[in-house]
Chain A
Amino acid sequence: MIRVVLPAHLRTLAKVKDEVQLDITGAVTQRSVLDALEANYPMLRGTIRDHVTQQRRPFLRFFACEEDLSHEMPDAALPEAVASGKEPLLIVGAIAGG
């Protein structure tokens, strides 16, 4: 079971109160986690990564195990602690703007 923590606005949009739990078969990567997240919560499509380019939105970042994983390749394996469900993948909005 993969755990994902969403920013507050996306939790509201997805109608979830706490972290999201996802079942993923195969490699646990940014891409597979986001694919599963969007499959379970279609309203999140386009809000984390661009519909077409699949690029991460510039004001969002991915963290786990106290590491910034934002610039890792989409198909790179996420840390074992995320794959095992011990630690969540954090999707974090930039603290910026008004």
Chain B
Amino acid sequence: MLSKRLIACLDVRNGCVVKGVQFEGLRNAGDPSALARRYNVEGIDELVILDVTATLESRQALADTIRAVSRELFIPLAVGGGIRSLDDAEAAIEAGADKVSVNSAALLDPALITRLAARYGSQAIVVAIDAKRSDGRFDVYSRSGSTGTGRQAVEWAKEAEACGAGEILLTSIDRDGTREGFDCELNAAVSTAVSIPVIASGGAGTFQHFLDVFTEGRADAALAASVFHYSEHAVSELKQFLASNGIPVRLQHT
């Protein structure tokens, strides 16, 4: 049976891991390669490196980080943050990324998804959607949650899938960094509307939150950052908890 994936997100800025709370107030949380090594030992299923600044100057640092992490890590590695063109994607993939995640640029030009999928295959293209609740709807925001787009999360996810996206990375802006739990309603709405995997993000705080998002939230994978970074919960303990609650997971060394 297909396992539910646990994905660790490394928010990096100039080669250092930082973690924001609701996209603001970044603080340093360590060296990406060291964290990646630890996660691999603990049995994380996948890594996402997110360049939270995504300036031109940070590009070289990002490529170096990808190269360092992918040299010793043999699990899928996705890279996102400021991927705006085929050239940006190529730089990340040449450095060792298996997948690129696009967000704002895909909202401006959905055909970018199709061009990326044609070049690298859909399995390499993740469309990241940042959504916020408003009057019972899930509004899509761009530019790190700062700009409304007029789109709805479910419709945009379906359009992204039709354009060639291989996975959806769905972040609840309301829950991001709060540790109050994933937005299960948002995740279930999107996950049941598309046939590609949905990665739930935003709000992880306890083991129970992961169980909830894999059941109620219908998520195929769950992503977290600080919950893993500061060792509050070892990945292996979380997996044991999920397994004992009937969730299929990849247990260590199996």
Q: Do A and B bind each other?
A: no
- List residues of chain B with CB under 8 Å of any chain A CB: none
- List residues of chain A with CB under 8 Å of any chain B CB: none
